[in-house]
Amino acid sequence: MNFSQMHERLRLELLRRIQRGTLSVSLLARQSGFGQAHLSNFLHGRRQLSMEAMDRILAAQRLTVADLLPALSQAGFWSDNEESGAVPLVSHATALFEPIVRASAVQLMLHLPPKALQTVRPRASNVRRPWQRFVAVRISAAEALPMEPLVLPEAIALIDRHYNVLLPYRPSRPNLYAVRYGSHLRLRYVEFQSGRLILRPHNIAFPLELIEVGPEEPRGDWLTGRIALILNEV
């Protein structure tokens, strides 16, 4: 990775933290000692930072250069989990907001048969195609309740982030999606009606949830991806 690539990945990582609400320009200014106007120009791509300035921002956000790279496996760098079968287990926030999974965000690596991933068909919007495709998340007992018995407590859900459209993967079978609901991740069946995404649980004892979608807002932005595999602990 050259300096320009590292510079851009740092900019995107900071923007993601601002979008998640864990960072603001004013907080970053206090942490790094740079002026807000200087940082705003950097974040909006109007100016570049020096190597020294990047070091200060990395230190302020407790980031390393390795955090700006794709995830690491025990064998070294990897970027194509479709070929290797290696899938990072990450937090819900990472699955929702991070196009490229940082090394420090990987909780553990799942090793699946490569052919199991190679046969999965994608349907990604143009914006989503640069994202690292497969990630996995663990589903807590409380999060699993609306989807029981399909999803059990402490299940691991494999998310295909290159499938973020409301089209059936298989005829006559609804897709199960990982959905961004506020700053949280939900596993739900999803429909679109009258300008709203309808999040439907598997367990009918739980209510529907609605997401208002603006007329200029892509629906796919709310869909983290299709659930391609569920690993339930028994």
Q: How many angstroms separate the CA atoms of 80 and 106, rounded?
A: 15
Q: How many angstroms separate the CA atoms of 60 and 78, rounded?
A: 27
CB atoms within 10 A of CB 203: 13
Q: In one letter, which amino acid is 59?
A: A
CB atoms within 10 A of CB 117: 22
Query: What percent of the chain has a predicted confidence (pLDDT) above 90?
Result: 50
Where along the chain do its domains lie?
Answer: 3-68, 84-231
pLDDT given for residue 122 in this prediction = 93
Q: Which residues of the chain have pLDDT under 70?
A: 1, 69-83, 234
Class in CATH terms, 3-68: mainly alpha
Q: In one letter, which amino acid is 106?
A: V
Name the fold adopted by 84-231.
Answer: Umud Fragment, subunit A (2.10.109)
**Residues in a beta bridge with 177:** 188, 226
Q: How many angstroms separate the CA atoms of 1 and 115, rounded?
A: 29
Tokens, residue 219: 């629906």
3-state secondary structure of 60: helix
C-alpha 19, offset from chain centre: 13
- Please give the model's pTM, rounded to 2 decimal places: 0.70
Longest dimension (CA), the chain: 57
pLDDT in tens, 166-203: 999 998 899 999 999 988 899 999 999 988 999 999 99
